[in-house]
Every structure is written in structure tokens, then in C-alpha cells.
Chain A
């Protein structure tokens, strides 16, 4: 089988630590994990203890004040839907940004149809947020700010500490989509004044698909649960429990997947978030520096040396559609990238790539400098071929 040079890690990390696969395998094969909190027998309690251990690890990684404020979900999209629809109301004004993914935009558009008002912070030519917009968009009825930590299109990173301070100053709920940054950048919910953090498990945290979560900060927020069902407690109550984490965890948890996510968090802890972050920055700038002068190339995002980034490099090449270029990379060089639009329509409009899309290279801690050099050479050859 031909080796695959996989650079589509912003979609999902393909290579996982061996311990993740082993954890999922053993979670099923050993027959020791039952339904968490659905009985007092060993199998049920094993699953309960596993999820509680993972809550503590997750709280530690993101600076969550209380492990009980970590709830597990199927992915970031599920998290964002539960948060946005459970917390925000039709009378609210919400500030968000043009860098958001449809996982944020579409739930917000649903709220807009019910009467909510939306305002969008714009970007400059490099896709960097225009921070003065936050103040200018503020209204008396503004209730929340929803921001992705890092763009899945440009790789630019939002200044959470600045936005968090802005939210605190004006009494706004600060909701962060950490899909691209969890396990890649340092996140501290207290320091960055984050009220709600939504994450997925299958990208930078190296867990299995079907895992993710919601973390709440130290401020009490009144949620209306979007999903209700079995909770393991208060079976005869018509209403679903309002206590965290049960509030955001209706039904049976994905204990088998969470076993894998737990191993993914162990990998990050053992390797060190700083080490991972540094490696990814080196790969990103190594690739950028080798391709920036390829004839006909357009690079998106800010690559100033002082700027924090996630490992995303999106490009277009003159004479190529993004689909054709990605297909040529795959067919001729076994390179896997993502073409087209990236479920983030507003940033494509802002950067005028709604028709062309972009070819996105995105890296993980398993990528090597050799792989980066190979991809850069492949791109240069295709550019020369035309």
C-alpha cells in the first residue's frame, strides 16, 4: 500500500497514539465497561469512574475551575448546538465573527430566524480579526460573544484574553469554539475569562471520532437543556436534572470512545503541550517558508513570526482549481489535503475565495519535517508543470 502523506488533520487526526487504539480496543474487548451511573455493579462503576477521571484530566488541560463543569458530547457541533440553543434566546443580540465554522453559524442562524440579532466582527486582508469591531457592535441587548479560538481556514488565532476581558467588562457571556485549538494551544478558562468552551476529541486531542465536550467556567449560566432523556437519577421527575454535568449529558455516554480520548489526553500530558505546540509551529513555518515564493501561489492568513497560529496553511495556485490541485497532490504524490470551502462561508467571502475555495494543509504532532519538505517539493513541481 502506498504511504499516505496526511495533511488533513484539521478535519480529523488520522494517526493516533497507539495507546488510544489500545484503550478503545480494551474498553470493548475486556468487557469491563458498562453503562456509566446506571447501576452499582462493577461494570457500571468502572465506566462511571473512567468518565470522572477524564473529567479531571480535561479540567486540568483547559483550566476548568471544577471538574463537574466538564460534560462530554459527541463532537464540537453537538456541543455548540447544545450551548447556543440552550443558553441564548430570541430576544438576544449576539456578537460573533466572520471566521466562524458552520457549527457556530447555522445554530446562530436558527436563533436569528426566531428573532435573535447577529452582528459579525470582520477581518483584515490577512484574515485577522478587527478587534475595534467588538466595541462598535455592542448594543444594550447584547448577551453573548461567540468566537472560534482558531480559524480552520486561515489558522489565525483569536486573542481570547482580550475578548474575554471585553466580555467581562460588558457583562457578556463568552463562548469559545476550540475545535482547532484544543490540544494545540494553551487554554485557560479562568485567565481568558471563558464562560463556555466547546471542543472536539478527534482532532488535536487525538481521541476517537464521536467524542467531544463542553466546559463551563465559574459563572452560573441558566441552560434550558436542548436534549433530555435518561439521566440515571430522578427517574420519576418529568423534568430533566439541571445539575452539571448531567444537564448536558442526556442518555448513555460513549464510554468506549471516552476511554480512547482519555489516552489521547495522557499523550498530550506526557509529550507536553508546549512541546507539541512548538513542533507544530516549526512544521507550519517550515512549510510556509518553502512555498511562499512558489510561482502563482496565494497564501491566506497571517504568518508574522510573532503571531501565534494553529498548524494550518491554506493556499491557491494560479491556474489550478482547489479541487484539481488537491486531486493532483493525491494522485501524483499521495498527499491528502482538503480543497474547496471549509464549512466557514463568511471567511471565504471576506477573503474573496467563495468561488475558488482553498487547498488546506493541516499538520499534527505525528507529521515530520521530512514530510513537510516532500509536500513543499510536490507543490513546487505542480506549479512548474502548470
Chain B
């Protein structure tokens, strides 16, 4: 189960790309979920791929190898009822 208080996410340009990414990651035996786009990234709607934070790099690499481009990777953390979303770099 992915930690709901601290996890990684990957944003995509389209829902189709998000769905394609989900299928690839699940096929690779890794855990992931499609969840709503955090308002800190884009006010509005859309889906992002949620992963374990310690698997974020591996998932990003996997998707890159399968030519799925992304709009950014982020670390999401909940502390004291506050949600922070920060860009993720290797």
C-alpha cells in the first residue's frame, strides 16, 4: 500500500498518457494508482500517477524507456494537515 502521507507522483500531458503509464507500471509489477491532479501543480482537473516515493526514479526511468513523456515528477507530503508538493529531482 502506498503511504498516503508521503508519496511520489508523475504528471502527464493527457489522460491517455496517464492511463498508458499506469498499465506499464502495473505490468512491471510495481504498485501505482491514478489519482486527481494536485491543485499545487495545476488548478483544474486531470490525473497523475501515484507511486512509492522510493520508486519514483525507477518508475520515471521505466516510462521514459517506453517513450511515455511526462510533465514533471513531484514529492507529496502531508504534515500537520498541510499538503506540500515539491518538484522531484534525482
Give A residues with C-beta under 8 Å from B: 36-40, 45, 48-49, 51-52, 55, 66-68, 232-237, 241, 243-246
Contact = CB atoms under 8 A, between A and B. Distances in A.
Given A37-B18, A234-B42, A243-B13, 5 more contacts: A48-B19, A52-B16, A232-B47, A233-B42, A234-B46
6 nearest A-B residue pairs (beta carbon): A235-B44, A37-B15, A233-B46, A52-B19, A243-B13, A246-B14
A215 B18 CA distance: 19
A36 B45 CA distance: 13
Contacts of B22: 49
Contact of A52 (B20, B35, B67): B20
A246 B20 CA distance: 14
Main secondary structure of the interface of A (DSSP, over half): loop
Contact of A236 (B13, B17, B23, B44): B44
Given A45-B34, A234-B46, A235-B44, A241 B14 contact: yes
B36 interface: yes
Interface residues on B, range: 20 to 34
Contacts of B47: 37, 40, 48, 232
A374 to B, nearest CB: 47
A48 B17 CA distance: 11
A48 B14 contact: no
Contacts of B34: 40, 45, 48
B28 interface: no
A246 B67 CA distance: 18
A49 B19 contact: yes
A40 B19 contact: no
B43 interface: yes
A150 to B, nearest CB: 30
Contacts of B45: 38, 232-233, 235
Nearest to A69: B16
B14 A243 contact: yes
B27 to A, nearest CB: 12
Central interface residue in B16, B23, B43, B67, by most chain A CB within 10 Å = B16
B16 A68 contact: yes
Contacts of A36: 15
A233 B19 contact: no
Contacts of B42: 233-234
Nearest to B50: A40
A124 to B, nearest CB: 44
A197 to B, nearest CB: 18
A8 B22 CA distance: 42
A82 to B, nearest CB: 17
A241 B13 contact: yes
Nearest to A38: B45
Contact of A246 (B16, B33, B36): B16
Given A40-B36, A40-B47, A234-B42, A67 B14 contact: no
A180 to B, nearest CB: 28
A236 B41 CA distance: 13
Nearest to A55: B16
A55 B16 CA distance: 9
A48 B15 contact: yes
28 contacts: A37-B16, A37-B19, A37-B47, A40-B33, A48-B34, A48-B47, A49-B19, A49-B23, A52-B16, A52-B20, A68-B14, A68-B17, A232-B15, A232-B45, A232-B46, A232-B47, A233-B37, A233-B44, A233-B45, A233-B46, A234-B46, A241-B13, A241-B14, A243-B14, A243-B17, A244-B14, A246-B14, A246-B15
B63 to A, nearest CB: 13
A58 to B, nearest CB: 13
A72 to B, nearest CB: 11
Central interface residue in A232, A233, A243, by most chain B CB within 10 Å = A233
A26 B33 CA distance: 25
Nearest to A234: B44
Contacts of B16: 37, 51-52, 55, 68, 244-246
